[in-house]
Structures are given as structure tokens and as C-alpha cells.
Amino acid sequence: MLLVRRVVQRTNPNRSFSASHTRLSHRKGLVLGVFEKEGEEAGLHLTEAATGFDQKVSGKLSELLTISGPALKKGSSRIFYGVHTDFPCVAVVGLGKSNAGVCGAENWDIGKENIRAAVSAGCRSLQDLEVNHVEVDGCGDAQSAAEGAALGLFHYDQLKSKKKNKVTTQLHGSADSVGWEKGVLYAEGQNLARLLMEGPANHITPTVFASIIEENLAGHAGRVTIKKRSQDWIEEQQMGAFLSVSKGSEEPPVFLEIHYNGAPESTEAPLLLVGKGITFDTGGISLKPSASMDEMRADMGGAATVCSSIVTAAALKLPVNIIGLAPLCENMPSGKATKPGDVVTAKNGKTIQVDNTDAEGRLVLADALCYGHTFNPRAVVNVATLTGAMDVALGSAATGVFTNSDWLWEQLQKASVVTGDRVWRMPLFQHYTRQVTDCQLADVNNVGKYSRSGGACTAAAFLREFVTAPHWAHLDIAGVMSNKDEVPYLRKGMSGRPTRTLVEFAAGLAHHG
């Protein structure tokens, strides 16, 4: 007898099927997609892979979909048992309209997002049944399907005694295997960033962070050079702004420098990526409230996404040269910590009045940006969980981008439409610059004189004081740092955004210049 059960995304499986769980635990599962029929005609339209499977089972799948209830909605899944001997359970997922594409109003490809969400729902429902191997329908876009599967199954349980059931996935049938493998690598890059961001600060110190990245790049020794700079080197470079943040902590700072030479014969200048690497942020002497301070273990999200994107670029063998910089340290209060009102000197000689020690990310980035300019990069992109004001402005819908280059904005925006991990352009007016340069004791102040107004914009204006490159963009990712339920194919927790957008951006530069 055939069993059918409807599963809505994120709904736990009915425990009355526990006997089935035992029987299924070492068998295969299958995820197949169905589109909503277009026009006035109601019903479902099976994908190519689902149609082929239905033919193998003499139309049983179509029959079950017809009798099991209302038409399958976008993003939901329904599980059938006993349809085929090779697959004891089959999850059929709703993909929405088959003609969905790029939507100008939403600034993403709806079809790709639907596939990611639906495949994620199907894979999770099978994971809940403790199925440990799942074949996935490419759904007409194997890369998006792979991203949905790998991102949806990620769960941070490294420090728990009871682990989530691990699931291996592969593409079902002979569809676009190249696209599938690409999607897996894109998702694994974002999952590495999530792993780093989610890890407790006593486990992911600056030294440990650098070592993890080094381990992940170990297989690319011919193309990658890694330099883990010590405090002595940082002092030699006269990075007074960076040192002013790190000196309150017992953990030594690390300046991580990565060179990926994907196009060694190229004479073109490298792409420079710079990530804020505060592995824990108490706020320093300007101490944060205790509520939600634990989330500041992810204040190195900029460094995590930048370094993970370079790991992915290396795995993809992208024909582009990239330099990654990650100033890594903790921001702690102590007798050695910087005090509000102190004045420090950045690498380029500019003096900075530090009126708020919780505005520390811009200080470590200032020195990293000054150093990065010595490589004469073709473009500079820095990424940081910089301001709560960014979260207030855009929430988790998109990463805020401040840039002096229309060309660079176009490249980033184009990449984000493909990945679904959106960006949105913010202003870099002189209005904001005047608020950080009107400073009582130094050349610039690390907070605007109207500290509660336009905080994300004044932070960007501060960074601009340490930039001379004609193509520079600052990505403020504070609003997209974590996920509750906004992105359906990511579980609750640290998001690793916008790693895939950075990879797609780098790939665009590699292939199109």
C-alpha cells in the first residue's frame, strides 16, 4: 500500500512514522520538482526529471499528486512512500511558476529563488526522516538546486553531543552536472562562512580563524599564498588604528593576508577584498548592553565572507587574481583598552579621535585599506558587520553598498540578482563626510557629530577618508548577518551572506573583465 504525507516547509515529521524512519535510515531519498500550470488551467506540471520518474512508475506519481489534496504550493513539499524500490521515500516540491525569471521590483531571479527554497524544503523533510542519501532533481537549474540542497541542510551542531542526521546529495539523472558542482561549491563557501560566524568566540579566536582558512586553502598551494602577520609586523606597519582596538584583549591580533593567483600570466591588477575580523566585540570601554551580546561572535562576518569567497574562487579555479585582507582581533575592555576621547594615528598618517570604542570596525578597516592600496588593485571591496544603523535602514532584505564607482556598483548588483543575495546602493554624500571631518582633536572622528543620524552613512564616509582607489565599495552586512526565517533555504542562525554574491562578482570579473 502506498503511503502519502504532506509536509509544509519547516514542519517536523509525524512521529507515528518512527518505524518507517528506522527502515529508511540507510536508504535513498529523492527530491522531485513540480511547477504550477500557467494560465487559467489549474494543476501541476512535472519537471523533466519528475516526468521521467513518473513514466518509470507507470504514472503513480501523477496519480498520487492528484488524489493527495490541493495543488502543491510554492516552497512546500509532499512525501510519498513505496513509489519505487530504489527510493523508499520521494519528496515532491512546489517550484511555483515555470516562467518566473528576473523581477525588476524584487531585484532577483524569482525562478532561481523558488528552486533554492523548494529543494531546501524537500531535502530537510527527508533529513528529518533520517534518510542519509538524497538524489535531487536539477529542476531546470542545477546550480540553484545544488545551492538550495547544500544551504538548506547545513546545521551548526559541532559542539553538540547529538548531531543532526548527515545527508549526502547528488544530482538525479544526467542533467547539468557542471552546474550542480558549481552550485555545491558556491553553497559550501557560504557554509564555511556560517561555520566561522556561528562558532563561539572562545573557539574562533583570531589565531584559530586564520588557521581554519589556511587549512581550507591547503589544497591550492600552487595558486595560493597565505601570510599570517603577527603583532610585531602590525606595529612595523604603523597600523595605530588597528592596534588601538586589539590592545584591550589578551588574544594577540592577526593580520591575515591571502594571495590567490588564478590568472598568473595576467598583467591586470588584482581584485582586493578586505573583511572586518572582530572575532568578538564587547564594545570596549563603550560597553554594549549584555542582551544579545553573544551574537557579537559573528562580528567577524566580513572577514568570514571575504575569506570564504576566496576559498570558493580557488575551488572553482576562477581565472582572476585576488588579494584578501582580514585584520583579526577582539575588542575588549581592560586597563589597556582605548578610552573614549583618545587619539590614534592610522597607517596613512591621519589622526583619529576615538569618541566611541564600539565604532571599532572602521578603525581596523582603515589600516587594512591603507595597506591594500599598496597592491594597486583594479577594484577594492571591503565587507563588514559595521553598523546597527544599516540593520535599521534595510533590515535583512539586502546588503547596503556605498561606492564611488558606478561600474563597480553595476558589477555587484548584477551578481546579486543571480545569487538572490541582494545588494542596495546607499549614498556617499559630502553631507556625511563633513560630519566625521568636523573633529575637535584630530583629522577625523570615528563617529559622526550627529551620532544617531545616518550612522551607516557616516561610517562609510569615515572609511572613504582612507581610500584613494577610483573603484571602491563598502558593503555593510550588519542587517544580513543572521537569519530568522527571512531566507527560506537558510536555517535560523548566522547567514554567511553575501559570500555567494562575492564569488559571483569575482567570477564576472574573471570572465568578462
Residues annotated as catalytic (active site), given as ranges:
288, 362
Contacts 24+ apart (CB under 8 A), 78-82: 78/4, 78/5, 78/6, 78/7, 79/4, 79/5, 79/6, 79/7, 79/125, 79/126, 79/129, 80/2, 80/3, 80/4, 80/5, 81/2, 81/3, 81/4, 81/5, 81/20, 82/1, 82/2, 82/3
Q: Which of 186, 178, 149 is nearest to 31 (CA)?
A: 149
Sequential DSSP letters for 380-439: EEEEE---HHHHHHHTTS-EEEEES-HHHHHHHHHHHHHHS--EEE----HHHHHHHH--
Q: How far apart are CA 470 and CA 238, in angstroms?
A: 24
Helix (H, G, I), strand (E, B) or coil at 474: strand
Which residues fall within 8 angstroms of residue 242, CB to CB, at 6 or more apart?
234, 253, 255, 327, 329, 363, 364, 366, 367, 368
Q: Which three cell numbers stand for residue 87?
A: 527510493
Instruction: Fill in the amino acid letter for 104.
Output: G
Q: Based on the number of CB atoms within 10 Å of its own CB, is 233 exposed (0-12), middle (13-18) or buried (19 or more)?
A: middle
Q: How far apart are CA 13 and CA 24, in angstroms?
A: 14
β-sheet with 342-345: strand ranges across: 342-345, 351-354, 444-445
Contact present, 299 and 280 (Cβ < 8 Å) = yes
Run of H or E including 120: helix 110-128
Q: How far apart are CA 43 and CA 164, in angstroms?
A: 35
Contact present, 309 and 503 (Cβ < 8 Å) = yes
